[in-house]
Amino acid sequence: MNKSLISFFVFVVGLAVFHNVIFPIFTPKEIGWILNRYVYFLLFVAYLIITNLILRLKPPIAMTALFVWGLGFYFYKFVLYPPIPWTLFITYMVMWTIGTFLFVSQDPITFREFRKPIVKTIVGEYKIAQMVALTAMPILVGFATYNSIYPSYQEPVELRTVHPAPPATTKVHGKTYPLESTNNPFRVDEQDNYKDSFPFLDADKNEYMKYVTEGGTIFFQNCHYCHGDQLNGLGMFSHVFNPTPANFIDPGTIAMLQEAFLFWRVAKGGPGLPNESTPWSSAMPPWEEHLNTEEIWKVILFEYWYTGWHPRTFGTEGSEG
Amino acid sequence: MLGKIKRSIATFSLGLFLAMAMYIVPGMTSDAIAKEVFAEQVFAEEAFAKEVLAEEAVEGEGEAEIEWGQDVFYKDWEGNPLKGPVSGFPAPELGESDYNNYEFAPSRMLLWVANQQHLYFGSFVLAVPIFCMLIEFIGIRSKEEDPVMSAKYDRLAHDLMKVSLTAYSWTAILGGILLFTFITLFPGFFKYMAGIFRPVMHVYALMFLAESGVLYVYYYGWDKMKEDKFLKWIHVSLSVLLNLIGTVLMYLANSWATFMQAPGGIDADGRFLGNIWHVIHSTLWNPVGVHRILGNIVFGGGIVGAYAAYHYLTAKTEEERAHYDWVCYVAMFIAIFGLIPLPFAGYWLMKEVYAFRQQMGITLMGGIMAWLFIIQAVMIGLLFFGANSYLHNGMSRVKGSHRYMKYCKYMILLLICCFTMWMTPHTIVMTPAELKAMGGAQHPVIGHFGVMSAKNTAVNLMITTTVLCFLLYQKANKKINVPWATVGNCWISAIFVGAACNIIFLGVYGYFLPANVRVGLSVPQVTTTLTTLFAGTAINISMFKDSESYGDIQWGTQSKVGTYAIFLLAISFTWLMGLMGYIRSAVRLFWHVTEVVRDNSVDAYTLTIGEAGKMLTFNTLFVWTQFVVVFWVGSLTGKKVVSKAPEGIPVPAQQQQ
């Protein structure tokens, strides 16, 4: 039997078995260091390489390229979890396709080998392949056309700036704050000196923890319904909002921002956002109407304490005249 | 022969290192030195100002004759705004009458096209003399060892200057068009700028005159100064002078753009405070200058490479193919050499932008311009892919390369993984349904790639991989004979493995640090990458001593894929340059001069990504059309007219050769 064909079967049958039998084993409810989908994927790749080596199949470069490309597709489509948005999937696949092309075109010999079956299909040396390709192509184009014109009821994709540039100053409760130079008045202790303390328990021992405790109280009275009791953006109301509330645990949110930025965002809420951040789609109220200035600063202090992040500072980074 | 090529490549590398050092080190160190000098100067000025004010106070009669203003940027020892004598008019409140327009296109677009075309050509004509200087120098150095290669280098430098000469006139014409566009369409704004930069503009014009004079002597004196050794050295010295004048020209022109973006030397009303140096060397002047020099080298290398690649693909003879293949290699070598430090210069620039106005930095990296940066990331990735593809294909034609070709696929895998990390956006475009399926705005796995720790790690690994690829290319046809070959190879392996571990460790460590500390980690990451470049190359070249060859590089046998990669690089450079220029300029949003002169024209809006993309593509196509014309014009003088007698007609004896 043709070795290329065996190699192809090794891939297809292996994938079917792995996906239907082994994949469920590696995706339990409690994810572990071994039993997880990424280890599963590595096992599948190892199976492919080892089987091809043991059987000395040496598939032609075009088929190897197909396997490589297919592995990328399988990973991004089925293994990576939660599923990634379509735009990102397309982008990743373009990257992977370019990578596959670089692999086959790394020298003229491999590229010639890669082109050989394609050229032979086009010129008619591989008659069956030519018939299959010429039949499949219009069907695929038709299917894509059908898909694109089929009515869709999804909301359109929105390009939203999550962290817009803040204004130079903001006016809260009659006072103007320059955002670049305003600091949290309650940050009386520097980072890491309080990491072993705990709000509520140590509130009377430490002035800093007293403020954190007060901030925590305000947070649980007002904010946790949306931002979640673990500050991960998964509060009880979060699922009805679009976009979902900010996840403060994520390294890309408050960890990247100055406290003054948060002060502005909390005080002005959704309506205070610039147009690029679609103020109409944010449900956050302008908290300056419900909290006083001190309360806003304290709740910010709590958010940083809870997540363990330190606010962004620019004091020593750049040069000034 | 191979030994000579080796030596010339080594000399070439050394030359490039020195040239880079010449251009970059002053830029980098001058920042620190300038601050010290500046501090002293500020102290003196402040003392003088206080003295004058005290005298005025003592006199106590009438109002002070000199009005003192506070600088918008510069500060004194105590952190208070620096004071200076008001020496100009306040910035105008521009109105409808300060703007003119044509019916067929918005003024802003016309200015954009005029500006961009001038910058493209300016960049090219500034870059080519740098190559010519290096290539001619290498030609002189290798004359005694290898006269054939020396002549080849000299011919290449001369050919490039020929093209540059045509491009130079073209640049001047485009500069004139740009100036007229400013005067006719934005007269109010230009009047203000001319008021501030009056002396700089005159010096600029005079420098242009000097540049032209040196250029003409340099080019037209080429053949006359070719044979005599002393005159040849004078000739190459002229190229140094040419480059120095060119660099000063570029820095002067840069000062206008950097002043518009981050002004200094004026007060809040836009009044000039009497010190022209303050206006010129505002905070972004040095990083923009260094970034542009490197960008010019890469851009110039890309254009020369594309020119050579075109001739390579259409060459009729083997000799022609071999020549242009070699030119492609030289151009690519220069381009990649400029490309490697370019991201670091970019980081420096962004750091200074953040330091000037955090708001501006956020608009660029996280705000309205953030998506353009994602596009930039994609384009930079393409550059690295193109460069690596060229090196892989170039390596494959070298005898003995089979020892290293097997590693190419792993390097590609690493590049793709890093690139995936590099261009994963922090804010993902998605439908609400996808957002819910993902469980939030940030993906729990790939969401970690959206921050700078991941990006820095990815780009440093990509550069390190490209450096490794280049080292393998260098040693592809060499059988190493030095007794310490094993030790040397172990050192190279250790440097690269250690570098990769360090870069990854610092990247991961960054997630556990506050953002302001995390930013500082990019320095050791960059240092690690540069260590692989310098130490790796040094050890590699040292190992070539007494090496045997598996065979010469067969010039003229480069694969088509490798040649097309050069076109990809050239087009990507052009598009990317336009994109970054647009981002840098558009971040001023509705200001002509940030926070001083407001743009009150109807064009004071930010383009959508699609519209900006169309303009960039148009500019790219337009400039390439012009380059084709310039190259064609440049080739007219070089065409040998072969007089061929018609068949059947006898040729007189005196005409026969």
Measure B362 CA to nearest chain A CA, in Å: 5
DSSP state of A220: I
Residue A161: what pLDDT?
76
Contacts of B420 in chain A (CB under 8 A): 92, 95
Contacts of A321 in chain B (CB under 8 A): 38, 71, 73-75, 82, 264, 283
pLDDT digits (tens, 9 = 90+) for A207-240: 888 999 999 999 999 999 999 999 988 899 988 8
Interchain proximity B352–A84, CB inside 8 Å: no
A contacts of B368 (beta carbons < 8 Å): 161, 164-165, 276
Q: Do B435 and A243 touch (CB under 8 A)?
A: yes
> Can you give the C-alpha Rg of chain A in angstroms?
28
Separation between Cα atoms, residue B285 and residue B256, nearest integer Å? 9
Per-residue pLDDT tens for B552-593?
888 888 999 999 999 999 999 999 999 999 999 999 988 999
Tokens standing for A168?
Answer: 């130079």
Interface A-B, measured as beta-carbon pairs within 8 A, has a size of 218
Tens of pLDDT, residue by residue over B466-492, are 999 989 988 888 899 899 999 999 999
Please judge whether B427 and A162 are an interchain contact, meaning their C-beta atoms are less than 8 angstroms apart: yes
From CA B105, how far away is CA B602, in angstroms rounded? 12
| CB pair distance less than 8 Å for A88 and B430 | yes
Alpha-carbon distance of B108 to B621, in angstroms, equals: 19
Q: Which of B362, B416, B451 sits opposite A165 (nearest CB)?
A: B362
Instruction: Decide if B31 touches A, using CB distance below 8 A.
Output: yes
Contact B264, B72 (CB under 8 A): yes
Rounded distance, CA A48 to CA A63, Å?
13
Quick one: which H or E segment has residue A175? strand A175-178
State what percent of residues in chain A have pLDDT above 90: 59
Nearest residue in chain B measured CA to CA from A310: B514
Residue, of A89 and A253, whose pLDDT is higher:
A89
- A320 contacts B283? CB cut-off 8 A: yes
Amino acid at B601: S
Cβ contact A318–B352 (<8 Å):
yes
Looking at CA atoms only, how far is residue A91 from chain B in angstroms?
9
Contact assignment for B368 to A95 by CB distance below 8 Å? no
CA distance A258 to chain B (A): 9
CA A182: distance to chain centroid?
A: 31
Residues in chain A with CB shorter than 8 Å from the CB of B74 are: 321
Q: Whole-model pTM above 0.95? A: no
- Taking an 8 Å cut-off on Cβ atoms, the answer to whether A85 and B438 are in contact is yes
Q: Is residue A200 left, alpha or beta, with left meaning phi > 0 and alpha meaning psi from -120 to 50?
A: left
State how far residue B202 is from chain A, nearest Cα, in angstroms.
26
What are B135's two structure tokens? 């290539």
**Which range has the worst mean pLDDT, A205-214, B4-13, B146-155, B304-313?**
B4-13
Interface list for B 283-302 with A (CB within 8 A): 283
A282-310: buried (b, 16+ CB within 10 Å) or exposed (e) per residue?
A: bebebbbeebebebbbbbbbbbbbbbebb
Q: How far is B161 from chain A (nearest CA, A)?
A: 33
Q: Domains of chain A by range and CATH?
A: 3-149 (no CATH), 169-307 (1.10.760.10)
Measured in angstroms, the CA of B277 and the nearest CA of chain A are apart by 13
A245-296 per-position pLDDT tens digit: 898 988 778 888 889 999 999 999 999 998 878 888 889 999 999 999 999 9
The secondary structure of residue A285, as a DSSP letter, is: -
Q: Is the pLDDT assigned to residue A313 strictly greater than 50?
A: yes
CA B285 to chain centroid, in Å, comes to 14
Of the candidates A217, A216, A209, the residue with the CA atom closest to the CA atom of residue A193: A209
